[in-house]
Amino acid sequence: MIKIFGQDDTVFTSNGDKILQPTKARLRKEDGGDYYVDIECSTDYSPWIKHGNILVCPTPTGEQAFRICNPEQNKTKIKARAKHVYFDSQNYLIVSAMATAKTCEEALEIINASTEPQTAFTVASNVDDINSYGCNLKSLYEAVSGVLARWGGHLVRNNFDIQIRETIGTDKGVTIRYGKNLKEIQKSEDWNNVVTKLLPTGKDGIQLDSVYLISDTQYSIPYTKTVSFNQDIEKEEGETEAQYENRLKQDLEEQATAYLAENCKPKINYTVKASIENISDIGDIIEVIDEDLGIDLITSVTAIEYDCNLEKITLVEFGNIKEKLSNLLNIIKKQS
């Protein structure tokens, strides 16, 4: 059942102002990205399908609230996209906020308490790492993105509750063999960032003693690149130049090794235009075996589409393309 509520509503336990029976209600949910419902309905609902009103729709994780944006109407039907109310966070300004040596939840609480006007959101996190984050003249949406980039984890959007969780989804032993047990699977490959021989540079152009890092994965054509890594590391009191340089090189090697492991194979996205048994939401674990590319990886669902009328998943996307949130982790700069 899809319900319509007013612009100011934040509690959705009733049937709202109107029960909506749309001809189409398709939800798309991405890990850290889009989260919206596209609807079509008759013009009988025009008094309620107004910009800013809220649709409460069934989803794989229960009822969620979506704010209607810019409806379009002709003589016979109304079309509109409704974005999850999490995106209301774009409308709250933070003039200045600083979280120093805090857990992720403490940082979220600080930025959420620093908005103008006061938000309707609650926040939580189970990421206990200690870190720091500051922002000036940012929206709450941008600040949450910054916290997520700094502490890591996954964004969980539950009506007006914002959480960053260490992990999401479940592992029910699902295995997909490309071209075998699912004939309708589609695959896209992105080789743009592949590197198998890496020359990393760090602060003030520092390089490793070995100069290059070389991946065990190699192809018939070379993928040799140089990448500059951020190193926010200062010399400590009493530390010699040699000790400081060694710390920089150690950090550079750690960052570069992780980058090489992440990018020695192409980014693959698989799309299945059907429900997959035992898959219920983003984050669910899938083993993917792709003999064409020599890939056997454990990955997770990165996006789903869901028919809110039928209350069933109609499309599943997964692969080794990482979840996104406004390209948060842009901490490296590629050099030509």
**What's phi and psi for 111, nearest 5 deg?**
-70, -35
Per-residue pLDDT of 54-90, as tens digits, reads 999 999 999 999 999 999 999 999 999 999 999 999 9
Angle value at C-alpha 321, between 30 and 266, nearest 5 degrees: 160
Domain hosting residue 75, numbered range:
2-88
Considering the domain boundaries, does residue 44 fall inside one? yes
CA–CA gap between residue 218 and residue 320 (Å, rounded): 18
DSSP label at residue 91: G
Per-residue confidence (pLDDT) for residue 326, from 0 to 100: 39
Domain end, chosen from 265, 283, 306, is at 265
Same domain, 207 and 83: no
pLDDT at 180 over 70: no
Residue type, 291: E
115-141 mean pLDDT:
94
Residue of 73 and 277 predicted with greater confidence = 73
- Asked if 7 and 55 sit in the same domain, the reply is yes
- The pLDDT of residue 181 is above 80: no
φ/ψ of residue 8, rounded to 5: -95, 0
Based on the fold, state whether residues 232 and 105 are members of the same structural domain: no
Give the per-residue pLDDT at 236: 87
Residue with tokens 């064409």: 292
Q: Is 19 helix (H, G, I), strand (E, B) or coil?
A: strand
Helix, strand, coil percentages (3-state) for the chain, rounded to 5, are 15, 40, 40
Handedness of CA 300, 38, 112, 134 (dihedral sign): positive
Average pLDDT over residues 182-195: 82
Please report whether residue 315 resides in a domain. yes
Q: Contact, 94 vs 143, CB < 8 A? A: yes
Dihedral-angle region of residue 264 (phi above 0 means left; psi in -120 to 50 means alpha; beta otherwise): alpha
How is 235-281 classified by DSSP, letter by letter? PPTT--HHHHHHHHHHHHHHHHHHHHHHHSS-EEEEEESS--TT--S
Q: Say yes or no: 80 and 98 in one domain.
A: no
Q: What is the mean pLDDT of residues 119-132?
A: 94
156 and 180 part of one domain? no
Q: What is the CATH number of the domain that holds 111?
A: 3.55.50
Residue 295 lies in a domain: yes
User: Average pLDDT of 12-36?
Assistant: 95
In a domain, 270, yes or no: yes
Q: How many domains does the chain have?
A: 4
Provide the pLDDT confidence category of residue 269 given band limits of 50, 70 and 90. confident
Residues 61 and 160 both lie in one domain: no
327 in any annotated domain: no
Indicate if 161 and 183 belong to the same structural domain: no
Confidence band of 332 (pLDDT split at 50, 70, 90): very low
- For residue 179, is pLDDT > 70? no
Instruction: Examine the pLDDT at 330 and tell me if it is beyond 80.
Output: no
**DSSP per-residue string spanning 268-333:** EEEEESS--TT--STT-EEEEEETTTTEEEEEEEEEEEEETTTTEEEEEEEESSPP-SSSTT--EE
Q: Are residues 184 and 309 in the same domain?
A: yes
Domain boundary among 242, 265, 288: 265
Lowest mean pLDDT among 291-300, 306-315, 327-336: 327-336
- Lowest-pLDDT choice from 51-65, 158-172, 257-271, 283-297: 283-297
Asked if residue 300 and residue 183 are part of one domain, the reply reads yes
Q: Is 137 domain-assigned?
A: yes
Q: What is the pLDDT of residue 257?
A: 93
C-alpha closest to that of 121 among 138, 109, 139, 105: 109
Q: Is residue 333 part of a domain?
A: no
Which of 14-23, 193-202, 314-323 has the lowest average pLDDT? 314-323
State the chain's mean pLDDT as an integer.
Answer: 90
308 and 217, same domain (yes or no): no
pLDDT for residue 278 is more than 60 = yes
Residue 259 domain flag: yes
Q: Is 272 in the same domain as 181? A: yes
- pLDDT band of 222, cuts 50, 70, 90: very high
285 and 153 in a common domain? no
Q: Which among 60, 66, 151 has a CA at the least distance from the CA of 104?
A: 151
At 298 the pLDDT is 84
Q: Which residues contact 208 (CB under 8 A, 6 or more apart)?
A: 200, 249, 252, 253, 256
| Residues 36, 69: Cα–Cα separation, whole Å | 10
